[in-house]
Amino acid sequence: MSSVVWCQPVPRQDLSIDSSFTSIPLGKWFQDPVAISVDPLGRIYILDRGRNTLQKITIKDTTITAGESHSWRDNAINQFQDIISPNGLDIYVADYGSNRIHRFDRDLNFISSIPQTDVQASMEKVFGFPSSIAIDRFGSLYVIDKEDKNICKIGASDRIDRTFGGHDAGLGRLIEPHTIRISNKNELIYVSDLNRIVVFDIYGNYITTKPIPGPGKPFTVDGGFFMMAESCTVSVIDNEGIIRGNIAPPVLRTGRICDRIIDIEINQGVLYLLTKQYLILVGIRYRLYNGD
């Protein structure tokens, strides 16, 4: 199904948003989708906790075609939380249950884990519970550790280079970190936390805090805007923390029932919204005008 939604901006703001969307049912392909990533070439990867599978798909019109996949055997241990596919070559999966980050190639062949499964027991626990991941242009990984409530930066040797955002971080101390993303535009690190987005540079130095409504949520960064999942809608938030508009695909709400947005991604002007029932592709176009 495809239609056009007009997103009215907050009064006295100078931004309006045109959005067209296409909704694709997922019931045939996925049991419990939890995360999505789209690589620079448009290949889509979805983590399915119900089938314990990482699946690559392509979409033409409203038809899904399944590509390569990778399955895990032990569903009781693996608890997938996040996925990124930053460069068209590598895919990284945050596995909360096994305390690891898994790396795959673009065809979903397994490459390695952090930490490796054959390391000594004394070195086994690199971090507690990895729940979200990001990567900078130099190849360093940044991992939210939900146990210690901080960020671990992992360098080329697959060892922790530094941690930040912990109890000694002052204004940058994280309370309930949810999602971490890095902007390609300014190379800043954004972490959704309790009622705010906390901003660091790639060295872990605290920069600033931006207010957001409610607890930490899934979000993505598009230029100077944050796209924040809010139940059945997406809030478009500017650099000052002001909500400039909302995107609300009608297919996500039936009466009082809401098909909640689980994860959100943007790639080349297309916003991808993942729910339990649908994958929604939203074409985004910003329009600036002179406000009152």
Sorted by sequence, the CB contacts under 8 Å of residue 22 that are 6+ apart come out as 1, 2, 61, 62, 280, 281
Tell me if 232 is assigned to some domain. Answer: yes
Q: Which two tokens stand for residue 252?
A: 């996500």
| Intervals of the chain under pLDDT 70 | 1-19, 74-78, 116-125, 286-292
How far is the C-alpha of 115 from the C-alpha of 145, rounded, in Å? 14
237-263: pLDDT as tens digits: 888 888 888 888 888 877 777 889 999
Q: Structure pTM? A: 0.87
31-60: pLDDT as tens digits: 999 999 999 999 999 999 888 899 999 988
| Count: domains in the chain | 1
Q: Is 225:238 a contact under the CB 8 Å cutoff?
A: yes
Tell me if 178 is assigned to some domain. Answer: no
How far is the C-alpha of 93 from the C-alpha of 228, rounded, in Å? 21
Residue type, 180: I
Tell me if 7 is assigned to some domain. Answer: yes
Strand partners, 95: 80, 100
Containing domain of residue 11, as a range?
1-26+223-292
**Helix/strand/coil for 4:** strand
Tell me if 14 is assigned to some domain. Answer: yes
Distances (CA, A) of 64 to 19, 111, 196, 218, 260: 22, 26, 36, 24, 21
Tell me if 269 is assigned to some domain. Answer: yes
